[in-house]
Amino acid sequence: MSKIVAAAVAVFAMSGAFAQDAVVVGLGAQDSSCGDWIKARREQNKLYQLSAVLWVQGFLSGMNTARKADQMINLPASSVIEAMLDNECANSPTGPLFSQSLVMYGKLRIEQGKKPDLLR
């Protein structure tokens, strides 16, 4: 029994060491700016555009999970997200895509007759 406990402790200790060296890959606040979005649109980089729209859709879905059902928003179509990113990023080309996604979420809430606050 003590060998099992010792093995479990060793595994947990090693997993922490590996986690510190883990590479985190993602599209988000630290990775992507409106300048990246504008460039991708200009160069017709469909892969980047799709990745960004999918990230925003996931973000909006995640924001919905923090709400009661009657306060969730209806998620917009991809083409609407693209148009909103075009508009928001034109106003703030150096801003992170994450910030523009928050702005988008707030605007969608207001358009859909929900409370404008983000976390209620």
Residue 40: which domain range? 25-111
Domain membership of residue 20 (yes or no) is no
Q: How far is CA 78 from CA 10, 103, 115, in A?
A: 47, 17, 23
Count CB-CB contacts under 10 A for residue 31.
Answer: 14
Domain membership of residue 87 (yes or no) is yes
Its pTM stands at 0.71
Domain membership of residue 39 (yes or no) is yes
pLDDT band at 119 (very low <50, low <70, confident <90, very high): low
Q: How many domains does the chain have?
A: 1
Domain membership of residue 12 (yes or no) is no
Per-residue model confidence as pLDDT tens digits over 12-57: 444 444 444 544 445 454 578 999 999 999 999 999 999 999 999 9
Query: Could you report how far apart the first and last alpha carbons of the chain are, in Å?
Result: 49
Domain membership of residue 6 (yes or no) is no
Extract the tokens encoding 55: 């990230």
CA neighbor of 75 nearest in space, from 98, 97, 58, 96: 58
